Amino acid sequence: MPDPEETFLAEYDPAAFPPVAVTVDVVALTMREGVPVALLIRRGVPPFQGAWALPGGFVHADEDLATAALRELGEETRLPSDVHIEQLGGYGSPTRDPRMRVVSIAYLLLAADLPDPRPGTDAAEAAWVPLRELGFGTGGPTPRPLAFDHAAILADGVERARSKLEYTALATAFLPAEFTMAGLREVYEALWNVPLHAANFHRKVLSVPGFVVDTGRLTAQGGGRGGRRARLYRAGDATSLHPALLRPAGEES
């Protein structure tokens, strides 16, 4: 049972509570050379100086949370106009930051063709790191430790992306405006770490209303080692997929 006086003060003077800082952290994912990568920075200042971390920072006064996420990420890389951003959730363990109580709102950002990052003001280094090197996907080296609870946030972001591929048109957010069926399939295969049957995938995608629309045009050239020219598609109106594109039942291969 709480102290009534405390509750009274809380209603009338929220500032009477111990100070809490609010930050945003961003899980930014994109495809580079056919493999999914995440943007990480190496911290130039304590705590966790020298450790890799998610881009992020403190929310400014009178700034919206999503705006803060975009601003912080814009300090590390040039953002294209059409990014997908959604909130992952709040992370507020009392011990997650050794300095003080910090509650962080994490965002998931997906985009195509994000350029090489530039180190921000408080980052010593910034790099796109393949998810395989971060403990996602098959095998790979031992993942490097991340600062704060950023490993958990990154894992939540990757899992969110993986599961939203099933029932939303999220995969197109990883791709440029026009893409091939094979490119779309690559997104699914790379994030799920599963080989998909190309013919069945093709049939399924076209059977979902509004998922992709045929541009009527073809790629300029066939594949590097030969092959028919692929049809080009654009993302359709649909945001949710009916019926869904479910992950194969078995475990990751």
Partner DNA sequence: AGAGAAAATCTCGTTCTGAGAATAACTTAG
Partner DNA sequence: CTAAGTTATTCTCAGAACGAGATTTTCTCT
Which residues form the catalytic set? 125
Contact letters (x/-) for DNA, 68-97, by CB under 7 A?
------------------------------
Helix, strand or coil for residue 136?
coil
Is residue 199 near DNA by the rule CB under 7 A? yes
Q: Taking each helix axis from N to C terminus, what angle separates 198-207 and 181-192, rounded to the nearest 10 degrees?
A: 110
Give the residue, chosen from 75, 189, 210, 238, that forms a contact with its own copies under the rule CB under 8 A: 75
CA atoms of 80 and 229, how far apart (whole Å): 28
Q: How far is CA 20 from CA 15, 17, 63, 147, in A?
A: 10, 8, 16, 19
> Helix H segments across 76-196?
150-167, 181-192
For the CB of residue 59, give the shortest distance to its own copies in the complex, in Å: 7
State yes or no: residue 93 binds its own copies (CB under 8 A).
yes
Alpha-carbon distance of 155 to 153, in angstroms, equals 5
Of 97-105, 111-119, 193-201, 228-236, the window that binds its own copies (rule: CB under 8 A) is: 97-105
Contact between 163 and DNA by CB under 7 A: the answer reads no
CB of 228 to DNA, least distance (A): 4
User: Using CA atoms in the order 45, 51, 53, 56, what is the torsion angle rounded to 10 degrees?
Assistant: 0
Q: Could you say whether residue 58 binds its own copies (CB under 8 A)?
A: yes
Q: Is residue 62 involved in binding its own copies (CB under 8 A)? A: yes
Query: Within 10 A of 182 (CB to CB), how many other CB atoms are there?
Result: 16
For DNA, the closer of residues 90 and 248 by Cβ is 248
The residues that touch its own copies, with contacts defined as CB under 8 A, are 1-2, 4, 7-8, 10-12, 14-15, 17-22, 45, 57-65, 71, 75, 87-90, 92-94, 99-103, 105, 120-122, 166-167, 242-244, 246, 249
